[in-house]
Amino acid sequence: MKLKFSLLGLIFLLLTFMACPGMAAPPPAGKFFLVGLGPAGPEHTTLKALETIKKADLVLCHPELAVPFQTYLQGKEVFDPWKELWVNPEKKNLKPEERRELLAEKEKQRDEFIKQMKVRLSQGQNIALLTGGDPTVYSRTFWLMKGLDDDAVEIIPGLGAITASMAALKRASTGAKARFVLQTAARSFLGKTDPDDLARNLSKYNGTLVFYMGLKEIDNLLNTLKKYNPGDLPVAIVYYAGYPDKEKVVKGTLDTILAKITPEQEKWWGMIVVGRCLAGPGFEMNE
pTM: 0.87
> pLDDT, tens digit, for every residue of 194-240?
999 999 999 999 999 999 999 999 999 999 999 999 999 999 999 99
Q: How far apart are CA 268 and CA 238, in angstroms?
A: 11
Q: Please, what's the largest Cα pairwise distance for the chain? A: 98
Question: Are 249 and 187 a contacting pair, CB within 8 Å?
Answer: no
Nearest to 278 by CA among 238, 239, 235: 235
What is the model's pLDDT at position 48?
Answer: 98
What is the model's pLDDT at position 23?
Answer: 55
What is the model's pLDDT at position 157?
Answer: 97
Output the CA–CA distances (angstroms, integers) from residue 8 to 2, 23, 204, 271, in the order listed: 10, 20, 81, 72
Question: Are 31 and 154 a contacting pair, CB within 8 Å?
Answer: yes
Give one DSSP letter per residue of 54-102, joined into a string: HH-SEEE--HHHHGGGHHHHTT-EEE-SHHHH---GGGTT--HHHHHHH
Q: How far apart are CA 207 and CA 275, in angstroms?
A: 6
Judge whether residue 38 has pLDDT over 50.
yes
Q: How far apart are CA 15 and CA 113, in angstroms?
A: 39
Q: Do domains 32-159 and 162-278 have the same CATH topology?
A: no
179-183, 254-258, 271-275, 281-285: range with lowest mean pLDDT:
281-285
Q: Where are the domains of the chain?
A: 32-159, 162-278
- pLDDT tier for residue 3 given thresholds of 50, 70 and 90: very low
The CATH architecture to which 162-278 belongs is 2-Layer Sandwich (3.30)
Judge whether residue 121 has pLDDT over 90.
yes
**What kind and span of H or E run contains 266?**
none
What is the model's pLDDT at position 10?
Answer: 47
* 176, burial (CB in 10 Å: exposed 0-12, middle 13-18, buried 19+): buried
Judge whether residue 150 has pLDDT over 90.
yes
Angle in degrees, CA 198, 181, 215, rounded to 5: 65
Q: What is the CATH number of domain 32-159?
A: 3.40.1010.10
